[in-house]
Amino acid sequence: MTERSLIADLAAREDGPVTVGGWVETVRDQKKVQFLVLRDETGAVQLVRPRPEGDDEVSLAISGVPLGSFVRVEGALKHDERVKLGGIEVKVDSFDVVAASEPEQPIAADSSIDKRLDHRFLDLRNPVNALVFKVQTTFEHALRTWWVEHGYIEVHTPKLMNSPSESRAELFQVPYFETTAYLAQSPQHFKQMAQAAGFGKIFEIADAFRADPSFTARHATEFTSIDAEISWIDSHEDVMAMHEAVLVAGFQAVADKHGEEIERLLGITVEVPSVPFPRIPLADALRIVAERGYVVPRADGDLDPEGERRISAYVKEEFGHDFVFVTDYATGIRPFYHMRDADDPGITKSYDLVYRGTEISTGAQREHRIEVLLEQVRDKGLDADELQSYLEFFRFGVPPHGGFGMGLARVLMLMLERASIRETTYLFRGPNRLLP
Closest Cα to residue 17, out of 96, 74, 98?
74
Q: Is 76 annotated as a binding residue?
A: no
Alpha helices in 362-415 (DSSP H): 370-379, 388-391, 408-415
Q: Is 2 annotated as a binding residue?
A: no
How many contiguous H segments (helices) and E segments (strands) does the chain have? 11, 16
SS3 351: strand
Phi, psi of 348 (to 5 degrees): -110, 160
CA distance 281 to 277: 13
Crossing angle for the helix pair 282-291 and 305-319, to the nearest 10 degrees = 90
Neighbours of 374 (CB within 10 A): 16
- The verdict on whether residue 409 carries a ligand-binding annotation is yes
The three-class DSSP label of residue 39 is: strand
Reported for 391-394, long-range contacts at CB under 8 A and 24+ positions apart, including other chains, are 393/192, 393/193, 393/195, 393/196, 394/196, 394/368, 394/369, 394/370
Q: Is 407 annotated as a binding residue?
A: yes
The verdict on whether residue 408 carries a ligand-binding annotation is yes
Residue 362 annotated as binding site: yes
Residue 410 is labelled as binding a ligand? yes
Is 366 flagged in the annotation as binding?
yes
Q: β-strands 173-176, 179-183: how paired?
A: antiparallel
| Per-residue H/E/C for 183-218 | ECCCCHHHHHHHHHCCCCEEEEEEEEECCCCCCCCC
Residues marked as binding? Answer: 166, 210, 359, 362, 366, 407-410
Residues marked as binding for ATP? Answer: 359, 407-410
Residues marked as binding for L-aspartate? Answer: 166, 210, 362, 366
